[in-house]
């Protein structure tokens, strides 16, 4: 059965084979079909942001944090960046050196000159001379636990115009909720929401993303949250898109503080009150 109808026009077949989305003879299994559908769906959200920056500035820079094997970066470059013929650039940031090496080799093989891969921690990426002082778009796809917050911290430090996040595996807030549950149980009936361990985990995940949205709004971003259709097999299908609009900051800052105090999460102030 042919898979060509599922592949976007202009997409490099060689790239899809190199990413093991297509087999050597051009076939696609169910898992690969799902993976490609996911990345294409995410591309639909990101493309208008790239277009806006390109039209406004002439060139654009995108940093993909926790890039892994750089599926997203390669697809974005192949479908958008490679035809620009300018200084636009994608930087993939990844802490696993072997993935940085393999992505660098693949980009060179494909002639994707506007791609770089850096073996850096988030803290180092903020100060690294290998990255520009400001960037236009920051993405973090399935960045586990605090890696999403690291990407937010980087985006704020780099004054990103657009931030696109698909958070994953948020455990830290749940652990703090669990730890402080006893102190709050008697006085606050809301603690029933996270009294049972399963609810603690789910509520903690939800609250984490609520706090991230408030944090971004407290830095002047307009935030939208949507579901990634086509990710039904995964519970982690929340997409957070933040666009810098220089909006008023006082009210979201107050709300952020109130939520932390109401839920007994004051010890997490430093994480969510990021100074860019």
pLDDT digits (tens, 9 = 90+) for 50-64: 999 999 999 999 999
> Considering the domain boundaries, does residue 12 fall inside one?
yes
Residue 49 CB-density burial (10 A; 0-12 exposed, 13-18 middle, 19+ buried): buried
- If asked whether residues 4 and 110 sit together in one domain, one would say yes
Average pLDDT over residues 258-265: 91
Where among 138, 165, 192 does a domain terminate? 165
User: Is 234 inside any structural domain?
Assistant: no
Supply the pLDDT for residue 232.
56
Number of domains in the chain: 2
Query: What does the pLDDT look like over 167-193, one tens digit per residue?
Result: 877 788 889 988 887 776 667 788 888
Whether residue 191 lies inside any domain: the answer is yes
What does the pLDDT read at residue 145? Answer: 65
pLDDT at 181: 76
Mean predicted lDDT score pLDDT of the chain: 89
The secondary element (H helix, E strand) that includes residue 243 is strand 238-244
Distances (CA, A) of 68 to 6, 103, 130, 196, 206: 24, 9, 19, 34, 25
Q: What phi, psi does 5 have (nearest 5°)? A: -70, -15
Domain presence at residue 236: no
In a domain, 239, yes or no: no
Same domain? For 14 and 108 the reply is yes
Other CB atoms within 10 A of residue 64 CB: 27
Higher-pLDDT residue of 110 and 275 is 110
In a domain, 240, yes or no: no
Same domain? For 199 and 254 the reply is yes
Share of the chain above pLDDT 90, in %: 59
pLDDT given for residue 190 in this prediction: 81
- Inter-CA distances, 196 with 51, 239, 264, 267, Å: 46, 27, 17, 22
My answer on whether 273 and 186 are in the same domain is yes
Q: Give all strands (DSSP E) within 31-161, no chain letters.
A: 61-65, 89-93, 115-118, 137-144
User: For residue 60, is it within any domain?
Assistant: yes
State pLDDT tens for residues 187-236: 778 888 888 989 999 999 999 999 999 999 999 999 999 988 665 555 56
What's 128's domain CATH number? Answer: 3.40.50.150
Q: Can you give the pLDDT at residue 1?
A: 39
The helix-helix angle for 172-185 and 197-217 (nearest 10°) equals 110
Residue that is last in its domain, among 122, 149, 165? 165
| Residue at which a domain ends, from 120, 140, 165 | 165
The answer to whether residues 175 and 160 belong to one domain is no
Cβ-proximal residues to 126 (8 Å cutoff; 6+ apart), any chain: 153, 154, 157, 158
Same-domain check for residues 250 and 267: yes
Same domain for 1 and 76, yes or no, is: yes
| Average pLDDT, integer, range 123-152 | 89
CA 249 to chain centre: 23
Instruction: Please report whether residue 225 resides in a domain.
Output: no
| pTM assigned to the model | 0.92
* Interval 1-57: pLDDT, tens: 345 558 888 899 999 999 888 888 888 888 888 888 888 888 999 999 999 999 999
Q: Does residue 175 share a domain with residue 149? A: no
Task: Give yes or no: residues 101 and 209 share one domain.
Answer: no
Whether residues 255 and 204 share a domain: the answer is yes
Q: Which domain holds residue 180?
A: 170-220+246-276
Considering the domain architecture, whether residues 67 and 122 belong to the same structural domain is answered as yes
Question: Does 143 share its domain with 29?
Answer: yes
């Amino acid at each position: 059965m042919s898979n060509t109808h599922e592949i976007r026009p202009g997409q490099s077949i060689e790239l899809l084979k190199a990413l093991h989305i297509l087999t050597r003879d051009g076939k696609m299994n169910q898992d690969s079909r799902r993976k490609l559908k996911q990345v294409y769906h995410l591309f639909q959200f990101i493309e208008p942001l790239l277009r806006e920056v390109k039209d406004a500035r002439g060139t654009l820079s995108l940093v993909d944090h926790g890039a892994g094997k750089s599926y997203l970066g390669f697809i974005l470059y192949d479908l958008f960046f490679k035809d620009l013929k300018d200084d636009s650039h994608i930087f993939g940031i990844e802490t696993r050196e072997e993935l940085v090496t393999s992505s660098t080799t693949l980009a060179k093989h494909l002639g994707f000159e506007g791609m770089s891969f850096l073996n850096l921690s988030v803290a180092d990426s903020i100060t690294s001379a290998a990255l520009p002082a400001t960037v236009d778009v920051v993405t973090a796809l399935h960045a586990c636990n605090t890696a999403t917050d690291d990407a937010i911290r980087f985006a704020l430090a780099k004054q990103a115009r657009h931030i696109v996040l698909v958070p994953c595996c948020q455990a830290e807030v749940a652990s703090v909720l669990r730890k402080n549950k006893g102190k709050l149980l008697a006085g606050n009936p809301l603690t029933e929401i996270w009294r049972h361990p399963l609810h603690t985990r789910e509520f903690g995940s939800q609250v984490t993303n609520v706090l991230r949205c408030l944090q971004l709004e407290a830095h002047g971003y307009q935030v939208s949250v949507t579901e990634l259709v086509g990710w039904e097999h995964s519970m982690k299908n929340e997409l957070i898109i933040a666009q810098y609009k220089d909006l008023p900051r006082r009210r979201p800052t107050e709300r952020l503080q109130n939520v932390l105090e109401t839920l007994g999460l004051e010890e997490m102030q430093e994480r969510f009150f990021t100074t860019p």
